[in-house]
Amino acid sequence: PIITYIDSTGAARSVNAASGSTVMETAVRNAIPEIVGECGGACACATCHVYVDDMWVDIVGEPVDMEEDMLDFALDVRPNSRLSCQIRVSDALDGLVVHTPERQA
Ligand code: FES
């Protein structure tokens, strides 16, 4: 599946993601800026915060409670905020677009 990351300056980077990996892992593996992933995907740091593109919000779905709690530590949280380590890549997400924040927590 192809995932596109749009950074805070508007620059878009599209990469091929492995099914079963996460949107955070895919970003780190491809040196995508503005995603840190400090805790390695344990939903314990909020430095993998992304904004899911409006077109994809319904398909990606809502955060579960644990993620919701950790999102309190992210900066400038919006209704379409997610922690990218909690978004698992699958064929259903082919073409996914996420926006990365200027700063992580
Ligand atoms: Fe730490 Fe996502 S990588 S919460």
Question: What is the residue-averaged pLDDT of the chain?
Answer: 97
Q: pLDDT, tens digit, for every residue of 53-71? A: 999 999 999 999 999 999 9
Q: Ligand 1 centre and the CA of 83: distance in Å?
A: 6
Q: 59 in a domain, yes or no?
A: yes
Tell me, what CATH number does 93's domain have? Answer: 3.10.20.30
Q: Ligand 1 centre and the CA of 21: distance in Å?
A: 13
What residues make up the domain containing 23?
A: 2-99
Number of domains observed in the structure of the chain: 1
8 A C-beta contact, residue 23 and residue 98:
yes
Q: Ligand 1 centre and the CA of 28: distance in Å?
A: 11
Instruction: Report d(CA 12, CA 81) in Å as an integer.
Output: 18
Q: pLDDT, tens digit, for every residue of 62-97? A: 999 999 999 999 999 999 999 999 999 999 999 999
Backbone φ, ψ for residue 56 (5° rounding): -110, -5
Q: 60 in a domain, yes or no?
A: yes
Residue 10 burial by CB count (10 A; 0-12/13-18/19+): exposed, middle or buried?
exposed
Q: 105 in a domain, yes or no?
A: no
- Ligand 1 site, residue 27, Cβ cutoff 6 A: no
Backbone φ, ψ for residue 48 (5° rounding): -120, 20
pTM: 0.97
Q: What is the pLDDT of residue 33?
A: 97
